[in-house]
Structure 1
Amino acid sequence: MFASARGTAGALAAAVLGLTAAGAAWSATPPAHAAATRASTAVRTCTTSDLYLSMGHKEGAAGSLYWSIRFTNTSTTGCSLRGYPGVSVLDTAHHQIGPAATHSGSPYGTVTLAPAQSAAAIARTTNGPVGGPCLRTGTYLRIYPPASHTAVLVPAPWKTCSGVFQVGPVNTQGNF
C-alpha cells in the first residue's frame, strides 16, 4: 500500500539545478551488436524501496505556488526514472482531497540516478483563490514514482486552489 517517507524536508527546487544525472538515449535503428550491449547495460527502474522522497521549499511566482518533490536514490546501484509521478492530496485520515494532479505537458527523458543522487518533479497550484475557491489543506501528498504502483506518503500541507493542481516530469534541471 503506502511506504513511509524517511524524512521531511528536501532542498529548494533551485538546488536541483546542481544535481547531475545521465539520460539514456538510443538511435531508432541500432546495429545488432548495440541491441545486445543495451540489454546488458540497461539501468533498472527505481522502485519505492530505492528512493527517499522529500519536499523542497514552496516558491511563489506569477500567481502560482510551486513545490519540488525530490527523489533520492538510497540504493547501492543506479536506477532510472522516466516521466511523471502520480500525486494526490490526502487528509489526516488518508482520504483524498480533490482530484489527483494532472501532468504539465512538459517533454521528458530518462533520468538515471547513481547512488545518493537526486532528481525532482515540481507540483503547482495557484497562489490563493484566483478564479476559483481553494480546497481544504491536506496533510500528506501521496506520491507514486514514475512506473510504480506503490505510493509513498510525504508529510506536506498542500492546498489546491482554483482547480489547478499539476505536476511536471522528474528531471534534474528543476523544470516544471
Structure 2
Amino acid sequence: MRNTLSAPRRLAAAASAAALGLTGLLTAAGPAQAAPAAVPTCTTGSLHLSMGRQDPGAGQLYQPVRFTNTGTRSCALRGYPGVSVLDAARRPIGAPATRSGAGYGTVTVRPGRTVTAVLHTTNGPIGGPCRPTGSYLRVYPPGSYRSVLVPTRYRVCSGVFQVSPVTSRSS
C-alpha cells in the first residue's frame, strides 16, 4: 500500500500517535526523514582574509581578495563583499566599491580552502585623478554585518573601484 500522506502530515500523524500511545500508527505514517543540513554561511570568525597578487594590464589593475576557511566545517558565501579603502587612521577614502559582473551562485568553502572576489581599478590616472593610497581595506564578507580589516596599500584611480562576486577561483 502506497503512503499518500505528505511529509508534514506524516510528522503530525506521528506526533499524534505518540501522544495517544498508538505506536502502530507510526509505522503506517512512515518514518520521518530529516531534511539535509544546509551549509551555514561563513562568518568572520571562520574566515581569514588576505590579498592576492595584483594583475596589471592595459591600464587596468585587478587584485583578488582571498577568503580562506579557517574553521573545521564547510561554509558558504554567496554574492558580493562590501569593500572600502581606509587610511591609516581607519577613516574611509572615497566611496565603497561598486558591484561588477553578472550572475553569481553559492560557493561552498571547505576547511582550509580559499575563494576570491576581484577588485578592479585603473593602473594610474587614466580618466581622472587617483585617491590617496589607503592602508587598509574594510571587507564585509557576503551575508555578514561584521567587517574584517585587511592591511594593504591600495589606491583607487580614475573613479573606478569595483568588486566582483565571490567565486571558487583561488588566487
Report the TM-score, using the length of structure 1 for normalisation: 0.76
Q: Within 5 A, what are the aligned runs for 1:75-154?
A: 75-154=71-150
Number of aligned residue pairs:
142
Q: Write the letter of the residue equivalent to 1:115.
A: P
Distance 1:45 1:135 in 2: 34
Shift in CA distance, 169/38, structure 1 to aligned 2, threshold 3 Å: farther
Distance 2:79 2:33 in 1: 24
Aligned to 1:44: 40
- Pairwise CA RMSD of aligned residues? 1.9
Shift in CA distance, 63/37, structure 1 to aligned 2, threshold 3 Å: farther
Structure 2: gaps (5+ residues): 1-5, 8-31
- Relative contact order (C-alpha < 8 Å, sep 6+): which is higher? 1
Shift in CA distance, 148/61, structure 1 to aligned 2, threshold 3 Å: same
Distance 2:35 2:128 in 1: 50
Q: CA deviation at 1:62?
A: 2.1
Shift in CA distance, 140/38, structure 1 to aligned 2, threshold 3 Å: farther
Aligned to 1:162: 158
* Identity rate, percent: 56
Distance 1:77 1:167 in 2: 27
Distance 1:81 1:92 in 2: 29
Shift in CA distance, 174/124, structure 1 to aligned 2, threshold 3 Å: farther
Distance 1:112 1:101 in 2: 24
Q: CA deviation at 1:57?
A: 1.0
